[in-house]
């Protein structure tokens, strides 16, 4: 199946690939940034972030020197902020240890923070045309259906089996395009949610899942652990045209991001511990992290005096300079529309 498979997928890629800004050239920096952004993020969401990021930080050296607060602001809304911190950490190492040149071998690439086997495979194959597999969720899904692999795709042995199948199918040339072709097929046709568009798939007649009517069953993956639920009360503290924000700790969830003051649990309106002129109940909000759910209630509190415990900024300053996680987006919107 090897030659037939690679020929079909490359033909599909040449005629059906989406136009994406990181595909304009083989710049390893562009490919690296895009691959990190695309972890846990949809392509349509990532595009404007990528363009803004590259416009402001066009090189590894620029990334290595960016202020942390500015980096977080550029990343604001993408979530999983450790990705951005790892990017800067890796960029510093590239500048200091590799003379500002992104390494073109697997061992050195994977010594950089945030770069594992998939990302290194993507960079090496796409930017440097090396014969190496890049196996992400799309590839796992496509190959589990193509070969009717019924084992759990979260299992290390299953992942290794699929990796070997991809490696054995690599063409003699255009390995970067081939890896992208499988990903493209998984993103646009052999989709993760809903029915795959089998009638448009270049592999329909050789797909074992299709033959056995198992497209909607595969891939099989074990259920995720149940998320822990936490309740919070969020305070939008206002004094004149300024609002209170504070910086989160440098470690843990949403490390070093800015947030509105909040406490654990749901606090009643009559229990609010601030000297206020007016208190307004705000809509409830929910935010889902990978392992935690926040269930929030909120209050807009007009203070009699400013409190020294917080950073006081106008809504324009918050919008331009401070990275507020999307967990608070409902409350950010309230301020911005006020």
DSSP 327: G
Q: Using the CB atoms, write b or e for 276-310: b if 16+ within 10 Å.
A: beeeeebeebebebeeeebebbbbbbebeeeeeeb
Provide the angle, in degrees to the nearest 10, between the axes of the packed helices 82-97 and 28-37: 160
76 contact partners, CB below 8 Å, separation of at least 6: 323, 324, 325, 326
- Rounded CA-CA distance 53/59 in Å is 10
> Are the C-beta atoms of 260 and 328 separated by less than 8 Å?
yes
Question: Three-state SS string across 293-325, please?
Answer: EEEEEEEEEEECCCCCCCEEEEHHHHHHHCCCC
Q: Mark residue 67 as left, alpha or beta (left: phi above 0; alpha: psi -120 to 50; beta: remaining).
A: beta
Does the annotation count 67 as an active-site position?
no
Of these residues, 7, 35, 51, 164, which one is catalytic?
Answer: 35
Active site residues: 35
């Amino acid at each position: 199946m090897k030659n037939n498979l690679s020929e079909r997928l490359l033909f599909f890629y040449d005629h059906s690939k989406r136009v994406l800004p990181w595909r304009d050239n083989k710049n390893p920096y562009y490919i690296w940034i895009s691959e990190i952004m695309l972890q846990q993020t949809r392509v349509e969401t990532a595009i404007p972030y990528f363009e803004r990021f590259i416009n402001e930080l066009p090189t590894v050296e620029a990334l290595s020197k960016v202020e942390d607060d500015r980096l977080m602001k550029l990343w604001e809304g993408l979530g999983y902020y450790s990705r951005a911190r790892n990017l800067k950490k890796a960029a510093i190492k590239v500048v200091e240890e590799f003379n500002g040149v992104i390494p073109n071998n697997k061992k050195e690439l994977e010594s950089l923070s945030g770069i594992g086997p998939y990302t290194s495979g993507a960079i090496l194959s796409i930017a440097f045309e090396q014969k190496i597999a890049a196996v992400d969720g799309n590839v796992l899904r496509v190959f589990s259906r193509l070969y009717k692999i019924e084992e759990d795709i979260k299992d290390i042995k299953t992942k290794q089996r699929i990796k070997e199948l991809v490696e054995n199918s690599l063409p003699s040339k255009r390995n970067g395009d081939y890896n992208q072709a499988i990903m493209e097929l998984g993103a646009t046709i052999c989709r993760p949610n809903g029915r795959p568009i089998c009638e448009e798939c270049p592999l329909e007649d050789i797909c074992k899942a299709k033959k056995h009517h198992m497209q909607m069953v595969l891939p099989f993956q074990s259920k995720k652990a149940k998320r822990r639920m936490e309740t919070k009360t969020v305070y939008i503290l206002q004094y004149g045209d300024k609002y209170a924000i504070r910086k989160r700790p440098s470690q843990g969830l949403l490390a070093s991001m800015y947030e509105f003051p909040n406490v654990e649990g749901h606090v009643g309106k009559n229990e609010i511990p601030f000297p206020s002129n007016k208190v307004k109940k705000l809509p409830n909000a929910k935010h889902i992290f990978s392992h935690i759910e926040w269930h929030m209630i909120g209050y807009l509190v007009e203070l009699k005096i400013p409190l020294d415990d917080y950073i006081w900024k106008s809504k324009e300053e918050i919008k331009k300079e401070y990275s507020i996680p999307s967990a608070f987006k409902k409350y950010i919107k309230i301020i911005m529309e006020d």
